[in-house]
Amino acid sequence: MKPKRRAETQWQQFSRYSSMVMLLPSSVLVGYLMGYYLDKLFGTHFLYIVFLILGIAAGLVSFLREALKDE
């Protein structure tokens, strides 16, 4: 049997949801920047797209995990 979670205050809910707002854009930005700098390092022109897609996927997975904690 799962232990019951305590009810969150409004400030706790606000902080959790505001962090979720920044989760997806920050992961996309990190993925893009990693690909951009690897492109510069290796002299290629496609790694930024690969890492951008990986950043989007990682952001969506993290967002969904956090959103499903509500249920």
Closest CA to 35 of 50, 48, 26, 53: 48
CA distance linking residue 28 with residue 26, whole number of Å: 5
- Strand ranges, E, within 11-70: none
Residue 4, pLDDT score: 67
Average pLDDT, the chain: 89
Give the model's pLDDT for residue 5. 66
- Percent of the chain whose pLDDT exceeds 70: 90
* The amino acid at 71: E
pLDDT in tens, 41-52: 999 999 999 999
